[in-house]
Chains A and B, each alone.
Chain A
Amino acid sequence: QKEVEQNSGPLSVPEGAIASLNCTYSDRGSQSFFWYRQYSGKSPELIMFIYSNGDKEDGRFTAQLNKASQYVSLLIRDSQPSDSATYLCAVPPSGTYKYIFGTGTRLKVLA
């Protein structure tokens, strides 16, 4: 059974701080890794994807991938109250069309 695990939170950070969200996965063959943001009552929205080991930056967001340790993380710099949402990690196992989504980490940015 392929798995993707995230801490459910809530993770509370003050406005302006760095929020660090983590995700571990079980399939060593996975090639692509996605982070989605989901506001309450809304659908998941893709915010970052990463395919290679290392860091990928996009504005205030940085995705970090370590395939040897089987974890992917999302850093949000200068956190804003508008970043308060649930963040879902998604990892497609190799050789399958089924995505595996983590249960999500709820982030609360305190003004």
Chain B
Amino acid sequence: NAGVTQTPKFQVLKTGQSMTLQCAQDMNHNSMYWYRQDPGMGLRLIYYSASEGTTDKGEVPNGYNVSRLNKREFSLRLESAAPSQTSVYFCASMQDPNQPQHFGDGTRLSIL
């Protein structure tokens, strides 16, 4: 049971570089989410997609873009990475708002 798969697991970037974090779920869930978690901090919502074809901003969207490629896949793009974006990024999915969210293993991103 794969659940939610995130790639890559680790990445080091230089300031100004761009990259895309990938997320795929095999649970046929409608909604998908991107969070960041800084050391010793809680989860902060970056963007979410309530259903295929829709995306909305969360708490900290600046510097990020997302694409809901299809029902399974939801990607997060950093166009011009900044050291403040060094964090652990989690993707999550859920069937509907009264169901639990299921998380991927995370991507640990360092920006130098």
Contact = CB atoms under 8 A, between A and B. Distances in A.
Nearest to B51: A97
B43 A101 contact: yes
Contacts, number: 46
B8 to A, nearest CB: 15
B31 interface: yes
B97 A102 contact: no
Given A103-B41, A103-B42, A32 B98 contact: yes
A110 B90 CA distance: 30
B48 A43 contact: no
A92 B42 contact: no
Contacts of B98: 31-32, 51, 92
A101 B90 contact: no
Secondary structure dominating the interface of B: loop
Interface of A: 31-32, 34, 42-46, 49, 51, 88, 90, 92, 96-99, 101-104
Interface of B: 31, 33, 41-43, 45, 48, 50, 56, 58, 90, 97-106
24 contacts: A32-B97, A32-B98, A34-B100, A43-B90, A43-B106, A44-B90, A44-B103, A45-B103, A49-B100, A88-B43, A90-B101, A92-B97, A92-B98, A97-B48, A97-B97, A98-B45, A98-B58, A99-B33, A99-B45, A101-B43, A102-B42, A103-B41, A103-B42, A104-B42
